[in-house]
Amino acid sequence: MTSNRPILPEQEDGEPPQGLVLGAIPGASPDKWVSRWRQRYPEIPLTVRYDEDAGALQRVRSGEADIGYLRHRAQEPGGSDGSSGDLAELSETELFHRVQIYTEQAVVCAASDHWVAAAEEAVDWVDIAEEPFIDPADMGVSGSGAELAADERMAMEVVASGAGLLLLPNSVARALSRKDVVIRTLTDHPGFTVSLVWLRAKDSPEIQEFIGLARGRKQSSGRSQLEPAAGPKKGKKAKQAAARAEPSRRKSRQQPRSPRGRPPRGRRRPR
């Protein structure tokens, strides 16, 4: 199975990435952050590597990523927190910093002939809580060389057969949508919490700047610890040339034209 994980231009095969490495997950869209980073700090390369949800902390711990996305199911009605192994590890150790960046809408996926399909847009969590659910982690497809979200894709096939329902973040479900599976928004469900995590021991001005950028910090903020790339400076000669090229703002004093056969006003016709 061919891998479809996006690799940005500065990451070349056989060469270790330089600068910051951001570990992304299925459904994540860091393009806006990456674009702003490259505009402000072009001298500090930023590489994005996509991988599965599972193992996000391990990739940060091992140094595969300097900063990583972490997504987990938020506190659910009834007391279950849906904690993944990554979240459990995060709560038991002080190795990591963690900043929550947003909460993603949860959706339910069902076969097109399931009763859930009768709902036009949304269903209540309490109405489906007792239904059998498919766990993507039980698929065992993802691994080295597997395409991104392979377990979720296989779980979608199982759902299409009518074996059960599948709970997913909205972004992942939409990316894997198929004609024989319906996707409905879940109401009364807290959704999925998405955070950025990094090692406390590797904290740096570059990492802090990226976290600030992800949280909406403006370039003019006094909290920035990095100097943005300066634009080209104009020398004295360049400024003089620009001044000569600038069109004059003075109004030209041209003699007004007169109709044919009549002299300009204020002048006498020669005899």
Range in 33-37, 53-57, 62-66, 144-148 the model is least confident about = 144-148
pLDDT at 217: 80
3-state secondary structure the chain: CCCCCCECCCCCCCCCCCCEEEEECCCCCCHHHHHHHHHHCCCCCEEEEECCCCCHHHHHHHCCCCEEEEEEECCCCCCCCCCCHHHHHHHHCCCEEEEEEEEECEEEEEECCCHHHHCCCEEEHHHHCCCCECCHHHCCCCCCCCCCCHHHHHHHHHHHCCCCEEEEEHHHHHHCCCCCEEEEEEECCCCEEEEEEEEHHHCCHHHHHHHHHHCCCCCCCCCCCCCCCCCCCCCHHHHHHHHHHCCCCCCCCCCCCCCCCCCCCCCCCCC
Range in 18-27, 122-131, 262-271 the model is least confident about = 262-271
Residue 259 burial by Cβ neighbours in a 10 Å radius (0-12, 13-18, 19+): exposed
Reading the block at residue 86, the tokens are 């990554």
Range in 135-149, 164-178, 207-221 the model is least confident about = 135-149
Whole-prediction pTM: 0.71
Range in 65-79, 154-168, 233-247 the model is least confident about = 233-247
Tokens 């300097």 correspond to 66
Taking alpha carbons only, the member of 47, 6, 187 closest to residue 105 is: 187
Under a CB-based contact definition with an 8 Å cutoff, are residues 74 and 190 in contact?
yes
Residue 249 pLDDT exceeds 50 = no
Beta bridge partners of 97: 198
Cα angle for residues 95, 204, 28 (degrees, 5° grid): 75
The pLDDT-based confidence of 46 (bands split at 50, 70, 90) is very high
Q: What does pLDDT average to over the chain?
A: 79
Q: What domains lie within the chain, and their CATH numbers?
A: 1-105+191-225 (3.40.190.10), 106-190 (3.40.190.10)
Residue 234 pLDDT exceeds 50 = no
pLDDT at 140: 83
